A and B are shown apart, each in its own frame.
Chain A
Amino acid sequence: MEASFPFGPVPLDCAVDIPRALRYLGRRRQEVPQHIGDQLAAVADRCRETARPRAMVSAAFPLIWPVRETEGAGVESRAREGRGLLLAGAGLELPGNDIARFLEGCTHAVLLAVTLGMENERELMRARALGPVQDFIADACASSMAEEAARAASAQVEQRAAAAGFRCTRRFSPGYGDLPLSLQPAMLRLTGADRMLGVQAGPSFLMTPMKSVTAVVGLAPENVEGRRAGYGRTAHA
């Protein structure tokens, strides 16, 4: 990655994705009646007004791969056998097969955390108090915006990586596949999202504000091709 980069909350340019929100609401081919459309537009406005989409991005941590039995020899292979992938310098192990497959071919990984913020959280509580329809629509709007925020943050990581001659995988979050949710506190600590964005993980590792995302993004050198460039497929592929 590049020599140095700003550290701190990154404001993200993103909005509610109305078609996506409609998909979350279960719409397939139906006409959207005007009063629902109006309500959706008004709720989307409130969502935009209350959201403060911010990201925190960690440094790029080198990946230390577990040595496979076939490749390994002696003490070292036994020591790492059956263990997960390590983020060097972060003291974090990424357990499970899925993340290992996802990051195949990568030499580094970046952690990112994104949130719409506490005021949007309050807006969601308000919508809930106004009734189930309002609640459902507000949640769909905020979810679509959180997805947009995560994309915007990924785009920044990609830009930074490209400048340093790396390609990025897509995002992989705790809770996907067999990557445990229990990583959440460490993800928040390592990105600084706990201190800088106020994102907290509760006892069952769910985050507050709810509309927050943490993810791992793998980095592979530009010249690594094909499957070796990351099971998760590079974002540009």
Chain B
Amino acid sequence: MAAPRTLKVENDYLAKVLAGQVPMLLDGGMGTLIQEAGLAGVHEVPDLLNLTHADEVCALQRRYVEAGSDCVTTNTFNSNRLKLASWGVSVEEVYRAAAAIARRAGAPLIAGDIGPTGALLQPLGLMSFQEAYDIFAEQARAAEAAGCHLIIVETFSDLLEAKAALLACLECTALPVLCTMTFGEDGRTFMGTTPAVAATTLSAIGAAAVGINCSLGPRETAPLAASMAPFARCPLMVQPNAGLPRIASDGATVFDVGPEEFCQAMEAVLDGGAAIVGGCCGTTPAHIAQLRRLLDSRPWPGTVERYRPTFIVSGAQSMVQLSPGENSIAVIGERINPTGKRRLKEALLAGDFDMAVAEGAAQVEAGADILDVNVGVPGIDEATVLRTVAQRLQATVAVPLQLDSSNPAALEAACRTYAGRPLLNSVNGKAESLAAVLPVAARYGATVLGLTLDEEGIPSTAEGRFSIAQRIVEAAQEAGIPREDVAIDCLVMAAATNQQEILEILRAVDLCKRRLGVRTVLGVSNVSFGLPRRAVLNASFLTAALTAGLDMPILNPLEPRYVDALNGFRVLNGQDEKCLHYVATYSGTQEAAQFAPAASQVAGNEGISTAEASPAADAPRGPAARLLDAVVTGRSSAAAVAAKDLRGEMSPVAIAEEVLAPALDEVGRRYDSGAYFLPQLMAAAEAAKAAFDVLGEAAADSPSGVSAMAGPPIVLATVEGDIHDIGKNITKMLLENYGFPVVDLGRDVAPRTVADAAAAHGAKLVGLSALMTTTIGAMERTIALLRQQVPSARVMVGGAVLTADYAEKIGADFYAEDAAASVAIAKRVL
């Protein structure tokens, strides 16, 4: 849980700057001056100069004060505990010395500088959000204790790391925090964040100013800064480099843009809305003096409101924005929700999040703009699981997320470590809900979804729903959440039970949009509850609701009927300009309704491939022949359809034995003879799996299909130090499709973990994979440990760098030349 925030700005001038009433001039590059002064090589961490060369650093900073800087930044860019650890000095010491130097230099205002940690955050890297937060919190407290007036968090590339720094400063100090990120020539940070996403995220969390520094010169920075302005709820700040760097013949880094040219280009930056300006690498007191003259000569326009109130849900790379007056719709995918999904429920409880991530990827492939994430299973640690699944999804897909929980603590946990601005699902009109959820949205700059229900239940009339919506919007505003950050869900009832309310719901959508000016959401599929062929009714309702003004339908984007309705509506509302998407999607296609439902059912395991959805030649043949053909040619959707059709004629076991097994044998023969190459073998296995899944549903059988054998599983792992696991994954897939149960330990697995798992499962066969010469040692150690602890287990090894000889040398029983060979080995051993 986050600490409450206090913000104190005692300096009147700074208060005016932060209110956007006057501009502020920062300083220029420090590294440049340190290099000029011949101090560059003194320490590996130049921040240590504050302790050893205080007078020299002071002289450099005095030059910025004399050039007219309103604020000097402390020489503490690297002063975090990671970088200072080996030098025997504390973070506090360095900040204290650095602020004292800036004070002695005569700085009117002192900004405590905080740069990135240099480490990569989870799940891509190793550092947890909390570790990063703690590092920044220590710096922030040190800056405040040292007497800084404000903090500048700068040169960040990772939005999540910037968020950790910003939150640490806001929660651990009372200082205003200015926050800048650094962008490449293509207008993205190397993590993929755009200026607009950075501006909307950081300013909504509470940055006192947001902006851009480093990497680019003023000319390249100007358009990027201008693109931030409509999304920044605070002043805009820009500190470019003096052009792009060059390495001179003596090895020194030089910048070519002089003060004149720099300030000419800075005019465009100021025109674009920047109010707090300065320089970064390569800029000198001469640049700053020239910039002072420019600022003093320009009439200051006063507060120009460039911020455009817009409903935004963002990830770290992309955002969905629904602007007032624009007819755009955004689809929220509903499938990451364990309600009614046994396998997803079991996977979540077991801590296996791959299925949830796969659901996400498949929905994005099918056109979801936002993913709803619900992990509500009784007995689960919802806070941890929601946070982890959201992080895994953010590492996998770029679309923003809607965090869905009735547990405010889970919402906060996931929201805190989310890169961007999530949509919180949900708050409702009950006093308790408003009190618990709205502060979370306010603290993290999230948008929030309000449900029109309260202590009295769900009103049956449009006016009743509207009045709760109105109360939610008012309560949000009181909690510091602007109206544009609220969306309202008027709650769909089942037509089977509440038929008379359906049109009231649509009228409520219209009322909320027109009179409250908020965006609207509806969970479309509720309407058909209890009725047959639900997709038919849902699609009708979807079109009606969109016409009534629905902005964000929550639905299953893998259902072709909805996709058709959405594609059609986007032509009608003008979102699909010139009908380009519609034409690209439907041109040359035929009515595909008969294949559609099955495609949606298997799509949890694969994306819908339009390339394979045209099996016209299959139509006249019987389902058994079609299934055989679909598996042999590796077409999953067609295999699922055929398996479904065949279910009426044959038992699942007969289908598995008489159709699928011969099909897989045929595929194996073709692969062995060289007629097929590996992706064909894999596609066939995937098609067989799609068919097994259909049979499994019917037989309510084990998840991996009807043919799974009993007996101890095969334990598979990629060895320690190696993260290449494609080969291991292919092996797993083929083994499972030949009916062998598999325990997959993943990649980078320690020898001890492999031995323990083999012992625990009583494994007769262990498969190890290594792709790099450097990790063969780890493979050898794993085999040695297995021999000691599980002598009965046989070991097969594979991987690009191995040969049969080498496999023997390191003590393996079998060498699997490829994934198919591992199946032959398994057949022999088990």
Q: Mark A195-217, 1 if CB is under 8 A from B, else 0.
A: 01110101111101010000000
Asked if residues A8 and B245 are in contact (CB atoms below 8 Å), the reply is yes
Asked if residues B676 and A30 are in contact (CB atoms below 8 Å), the reply is yes
Q: Which residue in B357, B395, B611, B729 is a CB contact (below 8 Å) of A132?
A: B729
Residue of A nearest to B611 (CB): A38
Asked if residues B361 and A139 are in contact (CB atoms below 8 Å), the reply is no
Q: Mark A168-200, 1 if CB is under 8 A from B, else 0.
A: 000000010000110000000000001011101
A117 on the B face (CB < 8 A): yes
Q: Mark A78-102, 1 if CB is under 8 A from B, else 0.
A: 0000000000010000000000000
Residues of B within 8 A of A227 (CB): none
Asked if residues B124 and A136 are in contact (CB atoms below 8 Å), the reply is no
In the assembled complex, the Cα of A141 lies from the Cα of B124 at a distance in Å of 21
Asked if residues B396 and A129 are in contact (CB atoms below 8 Å), the reply is yes
Residue of B nearest to A40 (CB): B679
Asked if residues A210 and B679 are in contact (CB atoms below 8 Å), the reply is no
In the assembled complex, the Cα of A20 lies from the Cα of B748 at a distance in Å of 27
Asked if residues B679 and A25 are in contact (CB atoms below 8 Å), the reply is yes
B350 on the A face (CB < 8 A): no
A59 on the B face (CB < 8 A): yes
Asked if residues A126 and B677 are in contact (CB atoms below 8 Å), the reply is no
Interface locus among B145-153, B186-194, B454-462: B186-194
B661 on the A face (CB < 8 A): no
Asked if residues A35 and B726 are in contact (CB atoms below 8 Å), the reply is no
Q: Which of A27, A30, A131 has the most CB of B within 10 A?
A: A131
Q: Which residue in B118, B125, B362, B677 is a CB contact (below 8 Å) of A25?
A: B677
Q: Which of B247, B362, B605 has the most CB of A within 10 A?
A: B247
Q: Mark B109-122, 1 if CB is under 8 A from A, else 0.
A: 00000000011100
A-B contact count (CB 8 A): 169
Q: Which residue in A7, A28, A29, A35 is a CB contact (below 8 Å) of B635?
A: A35
Residues of A within 8 A of B191 (CB): 118, 198
Residue of B nearest to A31 (CB): B675
In the assembled complex, the Cα of A108 lies from the Cα of B711 at a distance in Å of 61
A194 to chain B, nearest CB (A): 7
Contacting residues of chain B (671-720) with chain A, CB-CB under 8 angstroms: 674-680, 682-683, 685-686, 720
Contacting residues of chain A (110-159) with chain B, CB-CB under 8 angstroms: 117-119, 121-122, 125-126, 128-137, 139
Q: Mark B235-271, 1 if CB is under 8 A from A, else 0.
A: 0000000001111110101100000000000000000
B308 to chain A, nearest CB (A): 27
Asked if residues B774 and A181 are in contact (CB atoms below 8 Å), the reply is yes
Residue of A nearest to B683 (CB): A133
In the assembled complex, the Cα of A118 lies from the Cα of B499 at a distance in Å of 50
B759 on the A face (CB < 8 A): no
Asked if residues A131 and B157 are in contact (CB atoms below 8 Å), the reply is no
Residues of A within 8 A of B445 (CB): none
Asked if residues A4 and B249 are in contact (CB atoms below 8 Å), the reply is yes
In the assembled complex, the Cα of A202 lies from the Cα of B633 at a distance in Å of 40
B90 on the A face (CB < 8 A): no
B309 on the A face (CB < 8 A): no
Q: Which residue in B118, B254, B609, B726 is a CB contact (below 8 Å) of A136?
A: B726
B51 on the A face (CB < 8 A): no
Given known pairs A129-B361, A130-B606, A194-B118, the reply for A29 and B125 (CB within 8 Å) is: no
B398 on the A face (CB < 8 A): yes
Q: Which residue in B397, B607, B680 is a CB contact (below 8 Å) of A33?
A: B680
Residues of A within 8 A of B723 (CB): 204, 206, 210
Asked if residues A36 and B680 are in contact (CB atoms below 8 Å), the reply is yes
Residues of B within 8 A of A25 (CB): 677-679
A48 on the B face (CB < 8 A): no
B760 on the A face (CB < 8 A): no
Asked if residues A35 and B683 are in contact (CB atoms below 8 Å), the reply is yes
Q: Mark B342-366, 1 if CB is under 8 A from A, else 0.
A: 0000000000001001101110110
A237 on the B face (CB < 8 A): no
Residues of B within 8 A of A30 (CB): 674-677, 680
B317 on the A face (CB < 8 A): yes
Residues of A within 8 A of B635 (CB): 35
B721 on the A face (CB < 8 A): yes
Asked if residues B676 and A122 are in contact (CB atoms below 8 Å), the reply is no
In the assembled complex, the Cα of A168 lies from the Cα of B606 at a distance in Å of 46
In the assembled complex, the Cα of A181 lies from the Cα of B773 at a distance in Å of 10
Given known pairs A35-B609, A89-B251, the reply for A136 and B679 (CB within 8 Å) is: yes
A224 to chain B, nearest CB (A): 22
B821 on the A face (CB < 8 A): no
B772 on the A face (CB < 8 A): yes
In the assembled complex, the Cα of A27 lies from the Cα of B362 at a distance in Å of 27
B733 on the A face (CB < 8 A): yes
Given known pairs A30-B674, A118-B191, A122-B395, the reply for A11 and B185 (CB within 8 Å) is: yes
Residues of A within 8 A of B364 (CB): 126
Contacting residues of chain B (353-400) with chain A, CB-CB under 8 angstroms: 354, 357-358, 360-362, 364-365, 395-398
Residues of B within 8 A of A39 (CB): 609, 611
Asked if residues B818 and A26 are in contact (CB atoms below 8 Å), the reply is yes
Q: Which residue in B120, B246, B357, B720 is a CB contact (below 8 Å) of A200?
A: B120
Q: Which of B251, B253, B357, B361 has the most CB of A within 10 A?
A: B361
B730 on the A face (CB < 8 A): yes
Residue of A nearest to B395 (CB): A125
Given known pairs A131-B686, A136-B679, the reply for A35 and B633 (CB within 8 Å) is: yes
B762 on the A face (CB < 8 A): no
Asked if residues A4 and B674 are in contact (CB atoms below 8 Å), the reply is no
A221 on the B face (CB < 8 A): no
In the assembled complex, the Cα of A28 lies from the Cα of B818 at a distance in Å of 15
B184 on the A face (CB < 8 A): yes
In the assembled complex, the Cα of A132 lies from the Cα of B124 at a distance in Å of 20
Given known pairs A29-B674, A33-B633, the reply for A198 and B190 (CB within 8 Å) is: yes
Residues of B within 8 A of A206 (CB): 721-723
B345 to chain A, nearest CB (A): 19
In the assembled complex, the Cα of A39 lies from the Cα of B118 at a distance in Å of 38
Asked if residues B677 and A6 are in contact (CB atoms below 8 Å), the reply is no
B420 on the A face (CB < 8 A): no
Asked if residues A36 and B634 are in contact (CB atoms below 8 Å), the reply is yes
Q: Mark B169-186, 1 if CB is under 8 A from A, else 0.
A: 000000000000000111
Residues of B within 8 A of A59 (CB): 247, 251
In the assembled complex, the Cα of A3 lies from the Cα of B249 at a distance in Å of 5
A9 on the B face (CB < 8 A): yes
Asked if residues A136 and B730 are in contact (CB atoms below 8 Å), the reply is yes
Residues of B within 8 A of A194 (CB): 118
B564 on the A face (CB < 8 A): no
Q: Which residue in B120, B397, B683 is a CB contact (below 8 Å) of A122?
A: B397
B612 on the A face (CB < 8 A): yes
Residues of B within 8 A of A35 (CB): 609, 611-612, 633-635, 683
B3 on the A face (CB < 8 A): no
In the assembled complex, the Cα of A30 lies from the Cα of B679 at a distance in Å of 11
B596 to chain A, nearest CB (A): 19
Asked if residues A130 and B365 are in contact (CB atoms below 8 Å), the reply is yes
In the assembled complex, the Cα of A25 lies from the Cα of B361 at a distance in Å of 23
Residues of A within 8 A of B354 (CB): 129
B829 on the A face (CB < 8 A): no
Asked if residues B686 and A6 are in contact (CB atoms below 8 Å), the reply is no
B126 on the A face (CB < 8 A): yes
> Could you list 24 A-B pairs, sorted by A, with CB under 8 Å?
A3-B249, A4-B248, A4-B254, A6-B244, A6-B246, A7-B245, A9-B185, A26-B679, A30-B676, A35-B635, A36-B634, A52-B188, A119-B317, A122-B398, A125-B396, A131-B606, A133-B683, A200-B119, A202-B126, A203-B126, A204-B720, A204-B722, A204-B775, A208-B125
| Those 8 A-B pairs whose CB atoms lie nearest each other, nearest first | A129-B361, A198-B190, A204-B721, A26-B678, A38-B611, A125-B396, A27-B677, A7-B245
Extra 5 A-B pairs, beta carbons < 8 Å, given A33-B680, A35-B634, A39-B611: A30-B677, A54-B184, A59-B251, A118-B190, A129-B358
